[in-house]
């Protein structure tokens, strides 16, 4: 296995050298060819997906997971359109970021360049195959795509269609390489391909991400785990707070920018919670709370399960929330910095000084004042695409896309200068 | 030990919250106070250094290493001045990098912020203690400084002087934390402080750097290993080539931006090498070469040791070089991308098209046309400082300083917006 992944990485590295000198026009033409091929090969891709779906059903896979796995004509058309949307974005390569003449007379330019080889490790979402391949072609990177075993047939079918279309449109052979085995050791081999893999991005559950971080020797961008909070600080507009809390918790509870925890000033807890807890309970949200939350629940006839220490650190990803009273901004900020995952955090208040302190001191990719955490998204932020949401601070933070798949290099042109 | 390093990391994390909201003026005042305290405490620092020097001499430490370890009044004054130079640089924090209004009306800003906690792992260079502490204060980061055992007394003395001066000038307690043990497990504990250490930078030999990369779960910037090449492609000015090769190899052979290998077009090899090999031999450089180099050496009476496969991948860091003939740019680029360490690479030629191809396709932080690789340096590149030279492509590449110790966050201010 080691050898197979190493061979794939070596082929990708070779491809990356030629990819790095393609023009933006050539890469956009490849994206259009890839979109066209996806549409044309729809029946073959659906047939491959049918095989995955049948195997998944046999294994008793849950309905939401089956839904993520499923491809139909409409979804494939959507994936193809997303490739064309990428083509419309400005070329991220060859941008002169800095330019100066050194004291010696050597001219220096700092220019954006591809990363080289990007490896994507993901779970049962066949669309990630196309999203990742597209964004890598746009940024001149060769990619190695390691999809989950549940989606293996769909991923291979999509990757092969995209590779062949890209090559026909002038991209180098092996610019897109799917890992053809479902053997788990292939992921571990990929994590160690230092010198061949320039960047690895895991996308999936916390288990996959932690495994990659703990074992990788190649550079990794940590993505996605979101233990997000709304903190309500008096004075606050209770109707605004209700709206934001309900949206952030219930609009799509399974995503990383949904909130898992509600903090409120102790003095304001009864006012807020007697209004909000019935909303949450009415939407089917299971509530874990401290004593203040339990008291407010009791006052309005809402069940509140006593929260444990574990609840503060739990990303439920479901209709479930923890609720806690705090003494004020200092305790709220400390709690969030301790239990949060540096993803998206919100304060609801009319107190500008407290809001600005929260914005400054909460250590998260995206910090909100009076708006729902659900906006943390590449599309919403105007990036034009998204490959993940980074919860680390190195290189990329928050939603990331084209810019994060580029590095830079210094080009120095002289006339024989040496250092004195 | 685990507990001690964890405690240090937790204290640093706490300090980082307050550091992140200091003003540039406050941080600059701290840098001046640190410089002043270093000058005032010079005798105590020299006394600590004397203890390190005595222990090092007893161990039979080599003269160059003793020289790196040694502090005197002049060197301490130089370290102090460097802190004042940092104060003169623009504030890297709070820079609004992007600003837009989302479709929902939420205002978005992307603002530069500190990394949080930066850990520095280095060897027997006491000056790194002050350089790292200074650059971290400038960028609002708390730092954990893990110096080598040979310099432990000097490092602790410097770190304590700097910490106390910074705190007196208004920085939070524990903004600078030296690791007080020489136990090796402290480094390994530091490498695993995910969630507390936001960035780890190893500086030292290849062994230290590889150990950090292989074992870290915190984000790391790989620094420093430089297997650098000069490639001479005909037509080339032989005098310019001689000057660049001699400068890049012999001016300071122990540093990472010195070259280790010379490549030359086969058809041009005899012309170039019969001129250059006597220069190199005259400067005491040991030459390892392929058959073409051996033939040229024989023609001018210079000893050329037959090169082995191992030579192409060796960073000698000494007066030693490998020499090889290649068929042309394609082979030269492939050789460099295979054996190089992505540091600094140079082509000497009058052929502009070949030079531009080399600049585009060689995968290194700094690629030169007709200038010495010795210019790869934060000061030379105009960064105003340098904390290391990155040989990876994530986040920072080439010489890096203030910018690399900053991250960014998204600040979103709304009026109650929720996602539809």
The first and second tokens of residue A114, run together, are 């591809």
Cα(A21)–Cα(A30) distance, rounded to whole angstroms?
14
Q: What is the mean pLDDT of chain B?
A: 95
Instruction: Work out the number of other CB atoms within 10 angstroms of the CB of residue A205.
Output: 14
Which residues of chain A lie closer than 8 angstroms to B409, CB-CB? Answer: 364-367, 397-398
Q: What is the pLDDT of residue A1?
A: 44
Summarize pLDDT for A376-418 with one digit per residue, the tens.
Answer: 999 999 898 889 999 999 999 999 999 999 999 999 999 999 9
Chain-chain contact of B367 with A409 (C-beta, under 8 angstroms): yes
* % chain B with pLDDT above 70: 99
Tell me, what's the pLDDT at B335?
Answer: 97
Nearest to A393 among B103, B108, B198 (CB): B198
**What are the tens digits of pLDDT across the range B82-109?**
999 999 999 999 999 999 999 999 999 9
Alpha-carbon gap: A264 to the closest alpha carbon of chain B (Å): 17
Residue B147 has phi, psi (to 5 degrees) of -85, 165
Highest average pLDDT, of A200-214, B382-396, B401-415, comes from: B401-415
- Check if the beta carbon of residue B330 is closer than 8 Å to that of residue B336: no
Alpha-carbon distance A380 to B265, whole Å? 53
pLDDT of B417 over the 60 cut: yes
Q: Which pLDDT belongs to residue A398?
A: 97
A217, A410, A420: best to mutate for the B interface, most B CBs within 10 A: A410
Most confident of A211-215, A372-376, B120-124: A372-376
Helix H, strand E, coil C: the string for A329-364 is: HHHHHHHHHHHCCCCEEEEECCCHHHHHHHHHHCCC
pLDDT at A174: 97
**Chain A closest-CA separation from residue B181 CA (Å):** 26
Query: Which pair of tokens denotes residue A219?
Result: 């550079």
Helix ranges restricted to H, A101-237? 126-138, 152-168, 185-191, 206-215
Give the pLDDT of residue B1.
Answer: 44
* pLDDT band with cut points at 50, 70 and 90 for residue B224: confident
Sign of the C-alpha dihedral computed for residues B338, B340, B343 and B348 taken in this order: negative
Cβ pair A409, A401 in contact under 8 A:
no
Position A3 scores a pLDDT of: 56
Beta-strand ranges (E) seen in B249-343 are: 259-265, 286-289, 305-306, 320-326
Q: Do B416 and A366 count as a contact with CB atoms less than 8 A apart?
A: no
Among candidates B374, B397, B412 on the partner chain, residue whose Cβ is nearest the Cβ of A375:
B412
pTM score, whole prediction: 0.93
- Say yes or no for a CB contact (<8 Å) between A418 and B243: yes
DSSP code of residue A401: -
First to last CA, chain A: 51
What is the distance of C-alpha B330 from the center of its chain? Answer: 29
- Please measure the distance between the N-terminal and C-terminal CA atoms of chain B and give it in whole angstroms: 51
Tell me if B152 sits within 8 A of B55, measured CB to CB.
no
Backbone φ and ψ of B394, nearest 5°: -85, 125
Cis peptide before A235 (omega within 30 of 0): yes
Residue B347 β-bridge partners: B231, B369
What is residue A64's predicted lDDT score, i.e. its pLDDT? 81
Q: Does the pLDDT of residue B63 top 90, yes or no?
A: no
Contact (Cβ atoms closer than 8 angstroms) between residue B319 and residue B245: no
Per-residue tokens: B231: 């490639």
Q: Which residues are CB-contacts of A60 (< 8 A; sequence separation ≥ 6)? A: none
Residue A5 to chain B, least CA–CA distance (Å): 18
Task: For B171-223, list the strands marked E by DSSP.
Answer: 176-178, 199-203
Contact list, A237 vs chain B (CB under 8 Å): 416
Q: By the 8 A CB rule, do B220 and B121 touch?
A: no
What gap in Å lies between CA B368 and CA B347, rounded to an integer?
Answer: 6
Q: What is the pLDDT of residues B112-154, one digit of tens each?
A: 999 999 999 998 789 999 999 999 999 999 999 999 999 999 9
pLDDT for residue B51 is more than 80: yes
Q: What residues pair up with A322 in beta bridges, in sequence order? A: A261, A288
Q: For residue B155, what are its two tokens? A: 């490092």
Mean pLDDT of B379-391: 91
Chain B residue numbers with beta carbons less than 8 Å from the beta carbon of A412 are 366-369, 371, 375
C-alpha torsion sign, points B410, B414, B418, B420 = negative
Dihedral-angle region of residue B355 (phi above 0 means left; psi in -120 to 50 means alpha; beta otherwise):
alpha
Q: Is A392 helix (H, G, I), strand (E, B) or coil?
A: coil
Contact B352, B185 (CB under 8 A): no
Q: What per-residue confidence (pLDDT) applies to A192? A: 95
Composition of chain B by helix, strand, coil, percent to 5 = 45, 20, 30
- pLDDT beyond 90 at A123: no
The continuous run of DSSP H or E covering B82 comes out as helix B73-88
Percent of chain B with pLDDT over 90: 91
Query: What does the pLDDT look like over B284-332, one tens digit per residue?
Result: 999 999 999 999 999 999 999 999 999 999 999 999 999 999 999 999 9
């Amino acid at each position: 296995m080691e050898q197979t992944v190493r061979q794939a990485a070596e082929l990708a590295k070779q491809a990356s050298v030629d990819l790095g000198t393609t023009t933006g026009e050539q890469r956009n033409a490849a994206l259009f060819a890839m979109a066209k091929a996806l549409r044309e090969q729809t029946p073959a891709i659906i047939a491959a997906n049918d095989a995955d779906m049948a195997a998944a059903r046999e294994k008793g896979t849950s309905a939401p997971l089956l839904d993520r796995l499923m491809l139909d004509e409409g979804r494939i058309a959507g994936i193809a359109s997303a490739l064309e949307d990428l083509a419309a974005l400005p070329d991220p390569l060859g941008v002169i970021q800095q330019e100066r003449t050194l004291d010696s007379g050597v001219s220096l330019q700092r220019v954006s360049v591809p990363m080289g080889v990007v490896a994507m490790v993901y779970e049962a979402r066949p669309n990630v195959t196309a999203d990742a391949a597209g964004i890598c072609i746009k940024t001149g990177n060769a990619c190695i795509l390691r999809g989950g075993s549940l989606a293996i047939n769909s991923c291979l079918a999509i990757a092969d269609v995209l590779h062949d279309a890209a090559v026909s449109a002038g991209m180098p052979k092996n610019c897109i390489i799917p890992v053809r085995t479902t053997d788990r050791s292939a992921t571990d081999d990929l994590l160690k391909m230092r010198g061949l893999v320039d960047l690895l991005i895991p996308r999936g559950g916390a288990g996959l991400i932690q495994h990659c971080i703990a074992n990788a020797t190649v550079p990794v961008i940590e993505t996605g785990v979101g233990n997000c909070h709304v903190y309500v600080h008096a004075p606050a507009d209770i109707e605004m707070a209700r709206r934001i809390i309900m949206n952030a918790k219930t609009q799509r509870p399974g995503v990383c920018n949904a909130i898992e925890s509600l903090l409120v000033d102790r003095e304001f807890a009864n006012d807020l919670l007697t209004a909000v807890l019935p909303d949450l309970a009415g939407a089917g949200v299971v509530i874990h709370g401290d004593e203040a939350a339990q008291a407010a629940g009791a006052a309005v006839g809402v069940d509140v399960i006593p929260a444990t220490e574990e609840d503060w650190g739990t990303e439920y990803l479901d209709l479930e929330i923890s609720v806690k009273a705090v003494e004020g901004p200092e305790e709220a900020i400390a709690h969030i910095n301790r239990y949060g995952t540096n993803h998206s955090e919100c304060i609801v208040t009319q107190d500008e000084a407290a809001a600005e302190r929260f914005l400054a001191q909460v250590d998260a990719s995206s910090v909100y004042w009076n708006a729902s955490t659900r906006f943390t998204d590449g599309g919403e932020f105007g990036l034009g695409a998204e490959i993940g949401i980074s919860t680390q601070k190195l290189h990329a933070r928050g939603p990331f896309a084209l810019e994060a798949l580029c590095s830079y290099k210094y080009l120095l042109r002289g006339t024989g200068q040496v250092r004195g």
